[in-house]
Amino acid sequence: MIDRQSLKKYAWLSIGAAITTITLKGIAYALTGSVGLLSDAIESVVNLVGAAMALGMLTVAAHPPDDEHHWGHDKAEYFSSGVEGSLIVAAAISIAVASVSRLLHPQPIEKVGLGLLVSALASVVNLVVARVLFDVGKRFDSITLEADARHLMTDVWTSVGVIGGVGLVVLTGWTRLDPIVALLVAANIVYTGGRLVQRSVQGLLDAALPVVESEAIERILASYRTQGLEFHAVRSRQAAARRFVTMHVLVPGEWTVHRGHELLERIEHEIRGCVPNCTVLTHLEPVEDPTSFDDIELDRKPRP
């Protein structure tokens, strides 16, 4: 298990990138007066809030289990990605409001070349930091850093669209292209924010492990079924980087406790070997006893 505290330095990197891009994009907007560039700057403000939230939740998630949280604090990361997704949607709404106003009352864009150059520089900063966060998030299974990386990449593509839109305004002279591009940007941001919120909700609702990991577990169990063993009530869930797998293992009732314990230890070891950061809980039952099949469902039936 990795030291989650070490991930906080990447949240600080994201905060630094957000402050840098806010400054650069604010300068670009001040130079040009483009509502598209304004929308880009607003999203960078959201990036800063999201990065600060990420730092806070990574700090909480790094805390070890305690008397009040026996399973640890890993789920705190879902709050960060959920809040960041909601902030993205809120930013999109503010961009849309500003864009509609400019669509109804178009204004000329000034100092385009210098403004776009500054905005492009901000996009390069976001791109570099996003790639770093995405790689680290994937490597250490941090949904917080991955969400922050996806947010920054959305910002990069937003900037590309805005720069293209402003360029078209210059080429065509049609000033309404600027707010139209900003509205398209807002729609894309809503989509990204919605996906982040959805993924966070799934994590908080104890969604099962990804298909690849579930299939790996099933292959292990299948190898034991060929030896005459049975399994039921196999369940899994994920809390950010931490995985949990529980199951009932049915063996011949004549087995000794020692033999059954050795089997469970072997199964748990194999699952931990193919599923990273996994806590495996097993329950041994005699296959001949009918009551072994009374607890397959999540809520066990009460005995008469």
pLDDT on residue 225? 93
* Residue ranges matching CATH 3.30.70.1350 in the chain: 211-293
Is 90 exceeded by the pLDDT of residue 221? Answer: yes
Q: State mean pLDDT over 66-70.
A: 79
Is 90 exceeded by the pLDDT of residue 230? Answer: yes
> Tens of pLDDT along 255-270?
999 999 999 999 999 9
Residue with the bigger pLDDT between 129 and 67: it is 129
Residue where the block lists tokens 């066990």: 300
Would you identify the CATH topology of the domain 4-204? Alpha-lytic protease prodomain-like (1.20.1510)
Looking at domain 211-293, its CATH class is alpha beta
Give the Å distances, CA to CA, from 87 to 92, 96, 179, 247: 9, 14, 21, 39
Cβ pair 275, 217 in contact under 8 A = yes
pTM for the whole structure = 0.62
pLDDT on residue 3? 56
* Residue ranges matching CATH 1.20.1510.10 in the chain: 4-204
pLDDT on residue 281? 94
Q: State mean pLDDT over 177-195.
A: 76
pLDDT on residue 219? 95
Q: State mean pLDDT over 202-222.
A: 89
pLDDT on residue 168? 74
